[in-house]
Structure 1
Amino acid sequence: MILQTKRGPREPKGQSSENDARAWASESSARPRGHKKGGRSTSGFALGVFFVALYVVLSAAGEVYAASYFQKADVFVALLLSFAVVCITFNFLARHEGGEARAGKWSLLVFVALNVVTAISWIGLFIGLKYAEPAIVVAFMVALGPAATVWLNALIRRRGAPPASDIVVSAAIATIGTYMIWISASGNAGVEWGARSSIGIVFAIVAGLSLALTNILVKVLFDGGFSGRQVLAHRFYGTILLLLGLVDHSSIVPEISQHWFAIAAIGLSTIVLPLLLIQEGIRRVEPFTVNMVLSTAPIVTFLFQYFDSRIVPSSHTFVGNVLITAIAVSNIYLQYRRSA
């Protein structure tokens, strides 16, 4: 079993005992702001946010490039090769890494669930990018993420009812997500609404819900002592199997020979490096905080779209993205103050 059977989540290393906590409380007024409290600190919170923010910037650039590339190439070949490389690389690295993880039926169940939702979220994302404006696709994903996370986190990790402020923030972002639906359907997006645009929107919604569940499951494995390398080594089997069923096997060799540089760039910028960054962020902060930082992704993606001549800048998309980002940044600041 990877989760504690005692009440509450497993305490991180360095956590004070109950007696130490009482002693700390009596001295807290004399300590400087930002001092470690219960094994957590503002510096740890800031570093976690920084890693997720780097993920947002890097993946936004990669997603815009991938959306342009997928208009003329096979999306499934690029994904299959990228995930295969990730899986092989981190299986090799994880074999040489010790850990405190306790394997059992529960951890196996969590890994199976993680494989399923990982496959859905990544494939849903890239199919959405093929048929809809990248900034719209990312906005759908982040609009659904906070609302799903507050309840899934309480249910799966047994954190209790989410704070009222988190519920209000997630509902506000989800409301703006409905505005983004109107932008796409009314023809006011940066990419013209086509026969398959609705497919892109549906896949973006599914990907957003799956991403929220993915972040929580990764956090559960971290709570159980698994390392980032171990999680990356074993979370893509389902994705690879699904892609093997979707890909045209006769196109693999020609696709690699013609577009090897683009495939490598997409793999590094949208999968390998972003995964390393976001897992370091998830390790340091709560899933809801991760989703708040991810909510800044639409405006970053929108700015990168200026490098894609296929997309016409849309003021409606810009307004929706700014609103989501403003709410997310405000909430991140409040959480930072809370952690201090």
Structure 2
Amino acid sequence: MTSPSRRLALAGPLLVLGYCVINSTKSVFEGSLVQHLSPEFIAFNSFVIAQAFYFFTCRDKKALTSVVRRLLTDVVALNISTAVCWIAVLYAFTVFEPAMANSVILGLVPSITILLGFKLRPGTKALPLELVAAAIMLAAMGYLVAMAWQGSSAIGNVPPGEIAFGLAACVLTATSLAGITYSTKRLSDGGMSVQQMMASRFVLLIASTFVILVARDSFGPYSPGNVGAILAISTVGVIISLYLLQQGIVRTEPITVSMLFGTNLVITYVAQFFDPRLHQSQATLIGIAAVSAAMLLGTWARWRDGRNAAEPAETEEALT
């Protein structure tokens, strides 16, 4: 029979995986949408709805204000990481196919998470197999960028300047994803609930995308189709999926979260079959397979380490 401690340990990864299923499908949808709507227009409208929902469903506004003031530095860090992540990934989709963009991003996230961990969570160290998995992901990322340079991605030939821009957007997204993971963990350790995090998370994202909209004059038409797409992204792709992710992160070690993000890739690749502008690329599939295998290796290593640590405690409890 599975012990309560093991069930609790499994709950976090399952919540993160639920987020990955929704997010991977949303990535393909957004990749198609940014071809005729600006990334900032999509992000601004989607997150205005999401922020309003989370704020008004947070019942105790006094407690929210108090915890935000007490943990202001980490709340600001979460806002900055969120804003950079969502804006940068949408711009990455304007250059790369969603599966390749996500592969490059996820190839970087574990290494960045490990490096940030030395500063932000010095008590938790990466396992040797997690370091191996991170190295494999970096190698796969390099391979995918080389394939895009050669025109072997699902989009075909991409000018070098656009590749450089897309790669920069991927680096920003990967860095901010690691920042989101650690900021969320620190806020949770400080006593902030998931609901309070969500109610205060998107303020900077909304403000920054509005500024970009005005500066670029990139407002799109509020047609029935566009409004329906934005509502779908906001309700399913943001409100539901991010709640699952936040709940998963507070129950899971950051490096495990970064490894689990790799499941996005397989689902995204399959979902791309429904986007007529893309032809499926064998080079992308090879890169996805390498990143996914490394993700499984890293996740297994952390699970095994947690199991080995739990067994002596369970044995001691049984003896007493």
TM (normalized to structure 2)? 0.88
Map of 1:306 onto structure 2: 273
Map of 1:22 onto structure 2: none
Query: Using the alignment, how far apart are the partners of 1:264 and 1:256 within structure 2?
Result: 12
Gaps of 5+ in 1: 1-31
Map of 2:244 onto structure 1: 277
Letter in 2 for 1:209: T
Q: 2:151 touches 2:158 (CA, 8 Å); kept in 1?
A: no
Deviations 1:113-139 (A, max 9, x none): 111111111100111112211111101
TM (normalized to structure 1)? 0.83
Change (3 A) 1:253 1:68: closer
Letter in 2 for 1:93: T
Q: 1:292 touches 1:332 (CA, 8 Å); kept in 2?
A: yes
C-alpha deviation, 1:282, in angstroms: 0.4
Counterpart pick for 2:31 among 58, 61, 67:
67
Deviations 1:91-128 (A, max 9, x none): 12223379799747661111111111111111001111
Query: Using the alignment, how far apart are the partners of 1:123 and 1:243 within structure 2?
Result: 8
Would you say 1:201 and 2:167 are equivalent positions? yes
Would you say 1:292 and 2:292 are equivalent positions? no
C-alpha deviation, 1:161, in angstroms: 4.1
Query: Using the alignment, how far apart are the partners of 1:210 and 1:315 within structure 2?
Result: 29
Counterpart pick for 1:336 among 279, 303, 312:
303
Aligned pairs for 1:66-145 (under 5 A) are 66-96=30-60, 103=67, 107-145=71-109
C-alpha deviation, 1:173, in angstroms: 1.1
SS at match of 2:58: helix
Moved more, 136-145 or 168-177: 168-177
Change (3 A) 1:292 1:98: farther
Query: Using the alignment, how far apart are the partners of 1:42 and 1:338 within structure 2?
Result: 12
Gaps of 5+ in 2: 308-320
Query: Using the alignment, how far apart are the partners of 2:222 and 2:250 within structure 1?
Result: 36
SS at match of 1:131: coil
SS at match of 2:276: coil
Q: 1:60 touches 1:297 (CA, 8 Å); kept in 2?
A: yes
Change (3 A) 1:96 1:103: closer
Q: 2:86 touches 2:173 (CA, 8 Å); kept in 1?
A: yes
Map of 1:324 onto structure 2: 291
Query: Using the alignment, how far apart are the partners of 1:75 and 1:253 within structure 2?
Result: 10
Moved more, 212-221 or 326-335: 326-335
Q: 1:149 touches 1:212 (CA, 8 Å); kept in 2?
A: yes
Q: 2:12 touches 2:252 (CA, 8 Å); kept in 1?
A: yes
Higher helix share: 2
Q: 1:63 touches 1:270 (CA, 8 Å); kept in 2?
A: no
User: Which runs of at least 4 in structure 1 moved beyond 3 Å after TM superposition?
Assistant: 95-106, 248-253
Aligned residues between the structures: 304
C-alpha deviation, 1:176, in angstroms: 1.2
C-alpha deviation, 1:165, in angstroms: 2.5
C-alpha deviation, 1:160, in angstroms: 4.9
Map of 2:190 onto structure 1: 224
C-alpha deviation, 1:143, in angstroms: 0.7
SS at match of 1:284: coil
Change (3 A) 1:162 1:338: closer
Letter in 2 for 1:270: G
Would you say 1:210 and 2:185 are equivalent positions? no
Query: Using the alignment, how far apart are the partners of 1:198 and 1:104 within structure 2?
Result: 38
C-alpha deviation, 1:79, in angstroms: 1.1
Query: Using the alignment, how far apart are the partners of 1:156 and 1:261 within structure 2?
Result: 40
Letter in 2 for 1:67: G
Query: Using the alignment, how far apart are the partners of 1:330 and 1:253 within structure 2?
Result: 43
Q: CA RMSD in A?
A: 2.3
Query: Using the alignment, how far apart are the partners of 1:201 and 1:151 within structure 2?
Result: 20
Counterpart pick for 1:180 among 144, 148, 159:
144
Map of 2:212 onto structure 1: 246
C-alpha deviation, 1:258, in angstroms: 5.1
Letter in 2 for 1:64: V
